[in-house]
Structure 1
Amino acid sequence: MRRRRPAVWNHGQAMKFASRTRQTPDLPGTSGTARVDRRARALLARLAPGDVAVIDLLDLDRATAQALVDSRVVAVLNASSMISGRYPNLGPQVLADAGVLMVDQLGPTLFTSVKDGEKVRVDGETVHAGEGRVLSGRLLGADRVRELTDDARSGLSHQLESFTHNSTEFLRREQDLLLHGQGVPVPRTKIADRPVVVVVPGRDYVEELAAVRRFVAEQRPVLVGVDRGADAIRSARLRPDIVVVSANAGDDELPEPKTLKSARDVILRVDRGANRNAGERFTKLGVTPLLFESTATTEDAALILADAQHASVIVGVGMHATLDEFLDRQRAGLASTYLTRLKVGPRLVDATAVPTLYSGRVRPRHLLAVVVAGAVALAAAIGTTPVGQEWADALTGQLSDLLDQLQGMFQ
């Protein structure tokens, strides 16, 4: 009987056989690489398309949610509640609109069960991690998010009371700054009696900056970039005059070094009582910032700066101040934003209103068109009078004689 040659002698067949044995049937759900970090800001810098973000954030806000969508994650796993019911936060709706899978209320064991960099599979409310680890949470679809958001509106009264208290405390700390402008640095850029455009990396800020491009080109305003908003100014082929950044910002939140070096002034907002060496990392880049000591947010510091230097008008790009967005911020800066808006209110204009309110300068061609139209109208009016008819007949006769003379010359 003829013996068969062992399969391992034929390497091509052996490789094919091995690959078939490794194949497994497709499992239900959504799979991806887990990226784990309790600090949402640190996690955003490490995310790649197709990842599964693992966070621990109570009441997901809009800004973080939009950053997750921009990172193109396929799912978000939250140890806490996406919507706790305290107020109608906007983050879950952003994820739902983008089609991102959400499972929350997974508990503190989420961070011990899911390891950073390992493959996880999300099937409904169940999360499958390596070595048979299984967790269960609450699946949030679009309908469920809408329902929970509507129910959360009943918690607004408590949030408004807390908001009032925080505003009083902020005013007590910053009354000299808000009322008298004490402590505001004086930049080299001249702001007095000039329009100022403040670009904040908020919702739709790139589109809003493009919408005011005509205003920028014709009015030549002072361009102020806040954090990554300064990069948006450079991306629009413009140069930021002033860049305002926070000493507490992470590297992923700061503008690029080229942007910082291109600005005429760099303002560094530091907390009151902070170390005076907070600007060392900027000095290493060849940038010497002006210190702005305040507990206000970075974008509010930019507004206070423009107002203290007597800007003629302040156009806010990426800034929105609806009640829901105020409450969605979940930070001490809530009072800062509210009181700053009251301070700069007479000068502040939202960028979305500029295309409606601003029609542009009057150009020479516009004046010429008006003159020509007026001359035609005047000629038509005179032509209807007896004197005008006599002038028309005389002009016609002169033109006829001129044509006869020209014709005779050529003949």
Structure 2
Amino acid sequence: MKGRELMLSGSFFGREKTCRGKAVIDRRTKRLLSRILPGEIAVINHRDLDEVAAEGLVRKRVKAVINASPTLSGEYPAAGATRLVEAGIPILDRVGEKVLKELREGEPIELKGESLLRMKDGCWEEMAKGELLDAIRLEEQLSRARDRLEERLKPFIRNTLRYAGQEESFVTTRLDVPTLRVPLRGKDVVVVVRGAGYREDLTAIRSYIREVDPVLIGVDGGADALLERGWTPDLIVGDMDSVSDQALLSGAEIIVHAYPDGHSPGQKRVESLGLAPHVLPAAGTSEDLAMLMAFEEGAELIVAVGSHSHMIDFLEKGRKGMASTILVRMKVGTRLVDAKGVSRLYQKDVRAREIAWLGAAALFPLVSFALVNPKFLHLFRLFWLYLRILFP
């Protein structure tokens, strides 16, 4: 963490001792991200902040984060705290739920050291104390979390195996997919989930999307990810808890993921916008449903962007196993291409090196032609002499 400590030396953890701003309060970070503005202070209750939520806070340019719960509890290496610290955003941890109850939306607050202050009778008064999560404490907690990873893995595996038996019918019984306006048979399908790195990976495959023109499926907030990049989703699949009204009104066909018993909390929200969604009851996650639906409808290729594929992903989502995801991937694996992390294959230094080699290759025939042509050779000698005069 030495590099990160150096990076933070001029931030809140260095010169600045106080941080003031308007409080934006919400127990659900997803909801808070929809309304917080740059320079405001996020007051949340998010144990083990996940990377996607943290990235949202960074992009919103929040001034600080006040968390009623531990941003990194040490139970597993959740990535959100690291992302905030890398961005130089102060985190005051473990202030307690009383803060959420007593603070008012838009109220000015001040973060001073490990104290949270509010204005009372014209003076700043301490209302709570917490733990300032700086780079040193972060590394200590990450170290403990890494040490506990194997301990968490055992119950995770047991949970996955137990629910795999219960959810077997989810993948062995054909889905009752409604008749869709957008045919999937024989098409490439891109399933976009708002998971870690989804923006970068979606950007990395933009040429593929432009050339192949696949069917675009946004899983809840994945629909907004597509709109951010200038693409309109063809289908939106999910329980509709994190997709925007703008995405729902984009003209995409909507499939509400209902519980196996038919209960569908998201249906009411979609219908309140004057839309008529399909409702599809199924076990598993919404991204599992989207992939399985594309497979059963005859998609030629399924490209997954931002999908959840390992234990940390699922622990950050509050799930203690990944039974349905393993089963679905076993079934659709012959047609599935997981683009998670594909952006890491194209590092800037590699591109620069390739461009340099390409430039050198392009110059070679020009230089060769100049060397065998007397006129070019004469000009070259004049140019060389000119350089020698300018830079003796």
TM-score calculated relative to the size of structure 1: 0.71
Per the TM alignment, residue 181 of structure 1 is displaced from its structure 2 partner at its CA by: 2.6
Secondary structure, counterpart of 2:260 in structure 1: coil
Q: Does 1:98 align with 2:91?
A: no
Hey, what does 1:193 align to over in structure 2?
186
Hey, what does 1:225 align to over in structure 2?
218
Q: Which deviates more from structure 2 when the two are superposed, residues 155-164 or residues 328-337?
A: 328-337
Cα contact 1:231–1:259 (8 A) shared by 2 = no
Hey, what does 1:59 align to over in structure 2?
48
Change (3 A) 1:325 1:136: same
What is the distance in 2 between the residues matched to 1:64 and 1:40? 7
What is the distance in 2 between the residues matched to 1:52 and 1:355? 32
Hey, what does 2:351 align to over in structure 1?
none
How many residues in Structure 1 have an aligned counterpart in Structure 2? 326
The 5 A counterparts of 1:366-405 are: none
What is the distance in 1 between the residues matched to 2:99 and 2:269? 36
Q: Does 1:240 align with 2:233?
A: yes
Q: Which deviates more from structure 2 when the two are superposed, residues 90-99 or residues 147-156?
A: 147-156
Residues 304-330 of structure 1 show CA distances to partners (whole Å, capped at 9, x for unaligned) of 111222322211122353443343332
Of 145, 150, 160, the match for 1:157: 150
The 5 A counterparts of 1:9-408 are: 28-131=17-120, 132-247=125-240, 249=241, 253-257=242-246, 260-263=249-252, 265-275=253-263, 279-319=267-307, 321-331=309-319, 334-351=322-339, 353=342
Per the TM alignment, residue 276 of structure 1 is displaced from its structure 2 partner at its CA by: 6.1
Cα contact 1:279–1:289 (8 A) shared by 2 = yes
What is the distance in 2 between the residues matched to 1:355 and 1:130? 46
Cα contact 2:288–2:324 (8 A) shared by 1 = yes
Secondary structure, counterpart of 2:304 in structure 1: strand
Q: Which amino acid aligns with 2:129?
A: S
Cα contact 2:17–2:113 (8 A) shared by 1 = no
Change (3 A) 1:337 1:99: farther
Cα contact 2:92–2:114 (8 A) shared by 1 = yes
What is the distance in 1 between the residues matched to 2:334 and 2:39? 46
Q: Which runs of 5+ in 2 are unaligned?
A: 1-15, 347-392
Q: Which amino acid aligns with 2:155?
A: S
Per the TM alignment, residue 216 of structure 1 is displaced from its structure 2 partner at its CA by: 2.2
Cα contact 1:78–1:103 (8 A) shared by 2 = yes
Per the TM alignment, residue 334 of structure 1 is displaced from its structure 2 partner at its CA by: 4.0
Secondary structure, counterpart of 1:262 in structure 2: coil
Q: Which amino acid aligns with 2:286?
A: T
Secondary structure, counterpart of 1:272 in structure 2: coil
Cα contact 1:62–1:90 (8 A) shared by 2 = yes
What is the distance in 2 between the residues matched to 1:108 and 1:355? 39
Hey, what does 2:384 align to over in structure 1?
none
Per the TM alignment, residue 259 of structure 1 is displaced from its structure 2 partner at its CA by: 5.3
Residues 253-281 of structure 1 show CA distances to partners (whole Å, capped at 9, x for unaligned) of 22444654522x32111112244685344
Change (3 A) 1:88 1:53: same
Cα contact 2:223–2:247 (8 A) shared by 1 = no
Per the TM alignment, residue 235 of structure 1 is displaced from its structure 2 partner at its CA by: 4.5
Percent identity of paired positions between Structure 1 and Structure 2: 36
What is the distance in 2 between the residues matched to 1:166 and 1:232? 31
Q: Which amino acid aligns with 1:31?
A: R
What is the distance in 2 between the residues matched to 1:330 and 1:64? 13
Q: Which amino acid aligns with 1:341?
A: R
Cα contact 1:113–1:133 (8 A) shared by 2 = no
Per the TM alignment, residue 184 of structure 1 is displaced from its structure 2 partner at its CA by: 4.1
Q: Which amino acid aligns with 1:317?
A: V
Per the TM alignment, residue 40 of structure 1 is displaced from its structure 2 partner at its CA by: 2.5
Per the TM alignment, residue 299 of structure 1 is displaced from its structure 2 partner at its CA by: 1.9
What is the distance in 1 between the residues matched to 2:343 and 2:179? 28
Largest Rg, 1 or 2: 1
Per the TM alignment, residue 170 of structure 1 is displaced from its structure 2 partner at its CA by: 3.4
Q: Which runs of 5+ in 1 are unaligned?
A: 1-26, 358-411
Secondary structure, counterpart of 2:148 in structure 1: helix
Secondary structure, counterpart of 1:130 in structure 2: strand
Change (3 A) 1:33 1:277: closer
What is the distance in 2 between the residues matched to 1:278 and 1:118? 32
Cα contact 1:327–1:334 (8 A) shared by 2 = no
Cα contact 2:232–2:250 (8 A) shared by 1 = no
